[in-house]
Amino acid sequence: MFFNCLNYGIILNMRIINDLNFKRQAEELGISVWYTPSFLFLMLGVLIIFIMTGVSQISKYYDSPEFIILAECITVIIIFIVGNSVIREIEQIARVNKMKSEFISVASHQLRTPLSAVRWQVELISKKFSQGLNEKQKQGIDNIGGLSLRMTKLVNDLLDVARIDQGRFILKKDPVNLTEIIEEAMKDVSVLAKSRNVEIKFNNYGEEKCILGDRNRLFVVVENLLSNSIKYIFKKGVISIDLYDKEGFLVFKIKDNGVGIPARQQRNVFEKFFRSDNVVKYQTEGTGLGLYIAKNIVEQSGGKIWFESKENYGTTFYFSIPICEEIKK
């Protein structure tokens, strides 16, 4: 009990410290320190204390009820004006954020059409006109196809982020075999794993269990965690995947011996566009959206996602989803 209270106190203190980090908030919101909500609320609190103290001191020298009423009215007016300024700034931030999400959504939708056309043309050339191409031309066509697939994934990620921000990220709830999803994801990343000399081991202890979720979205979660583990191993490595049930949940665990995540940045892992410093200098590809999307998928599926990491030693990610009835064969 004592340790639980102590941990709660530590977490509360950390939240207060984070709330008072005006510079960090300003950088995240893209505004001046003087306009951050926490700073404005703090100034409002200080102003209220200052005014109430002043009224209390002045009231000691004046017994007139009219004076006290006038002072209190002035106090309320000042508080109302300052409070209204705070609300306007917060509304402005919310409005800009909404406009940004809408712009991303519209732009992403517009980009999908030409990207689809590029993929179709590449497939057409590869299938019907490949006989008339030399090796260099074929390689160029393959590169165009690969780049269009990367762009399509980026556009889809941006659309998902926009839907999450707008509260329109809807998932299906169907019986799903997570084992099949893992095996499919392992097959998809096998070429990447081989090219980076990474071995993948799958230990399945929950093959008879099923979960309720959106199969396509859960595949995105597994594939993202698996591809991240492969990308951030810069030497011969091993990735171990475990699937097991625990207290009514099916738990997915993936452990790697990659570069790890610096301790000072671990609290930012599930934020949009986050990429740790030690990864950026090695791996130029990546948007920092995968884990943000994965977190929302898992949580909307009724589960949770977490990790353990030590820089230069590796990272272990987990996610858990509630178990439903067994899959009927």
Q: List pLDDT tens digits, range 127-151.
A: 777 777 788 887 888 888 878 877 8
262-273 in b/e form (b: 16+ CB < 10 A) is eeebbeebbeee
C-alpha distances in Å from residue 95, one per residue of 100, 146, 273, 302 = 9, 37, 21, 30
Tokens 């999803």 belong to residue? 181
What is the reported pLDDT for 159?
82
Per-residue confidence band for 158, with pLDDT thresholds at 50, 70 and 90: confident
Cα–Cα dist 225/315, whole Å: 11
- Give me the sign of the Cα torsion angle 256, 310, 317, 297: negative
Range ranked top by mean pLDDT from 63-67, 134-138, 148-152, 289-293: 289-293
* Most confidently predicted of 28-37, 73-82, 301-310: 301-310
Longest dimension (CA), the chain: 101
**Mean pLDDT to the nearest integer, 297-320:** 92
Q: What is the pLDDT of residue 282?
A: 63
Which helix (H) or strand (E) segment is 324 a member of? strand 314-324
Q: What is the pLDDT of residues 16-62, one digit of tens each?
A: 455 566 677 666 666 666 667 777 777 777 877 777 777 777 777 76
Q: CA 152 from chain center: how many Å?
A: 19
- Confirm if 240 and 201 have CB atoms less than 8 A apart: yes
Token pair for 55: 């009224």
Side chain identity at residue 319, one-letter code: F
107 has a pLDDT exceeding 60: yes
**Is the pLDDT assigned to residue 96 strictly greater than 60?**
yes
Token pair in block for residue 218: 């859960």
Coil vs helix vs strand at 161: helix
Task: Give CA separation, 260 vs 36, 269, 272, in Å.
Answer: 32, 12, 19
Q: What confidence tier does 329 reach under pLDDT thresholds 50, 70, 90?
A: very low
Please give the pLDDT value at position 19: 55
- pLDDT band with cut points at 50, 70 and 90 for residue 317: very high
Model confidence at 218, pLDDT cuts 50, 70, 90, reads very high
| Percent of the chain scoring above 90 in pLDDT | 20
Mean residue pLDDT of the chain comes to 79
Cα–Cα dist 110/122, whole Å: 20
Q: Which pLDDT tens digit goes with each residue over 175-191? A: 989 999 999 999 988 88
Q: What is the pLDDT of residue 183?
A: 92
Give 90's pLDDT tier (boundaries 50, 70, 90).
Answer: confident
Q: From CA 289, how far away is CA 164, in angstroms rounded? A: 12
In contact, 245 and 205? CB cutoff 8 Å: yes
**Closest residue by Cα to residue 114 from 60, 161, 151:** 151
- Please list, in sequence order, all residues whose beta carbon lies within 8 angstroms of the beta carbon of residue 311, skipping any fewer than 6 positions away: 259, 260, 261, 262, 263, 278
CA gap 162, 30 in Å, rounded: 18
Burial of 238 (0-12, 13-18, 19+ CB in 10 A): middle
Give percent of the chain above pLDDT 70: 79
325 vs 170, higher pLDDT: 170
Burial of 31 (0-12, 13-18, 19+ CB in 10 A): middle
0.75 exceeded by the pTM? no
Q: Which helix (H) or strand (E) holds 213?
A: strand 210-213
**Would you give the DSSP letter of residue 248?**
T
The 3 state secondary structure assigned to 267-278 is HHCCCCCCCCHH
Q: Which domains does the chain have, with CATH numbers?
A: 1-169 (no CATH), 174-324 (3.30.565.10)
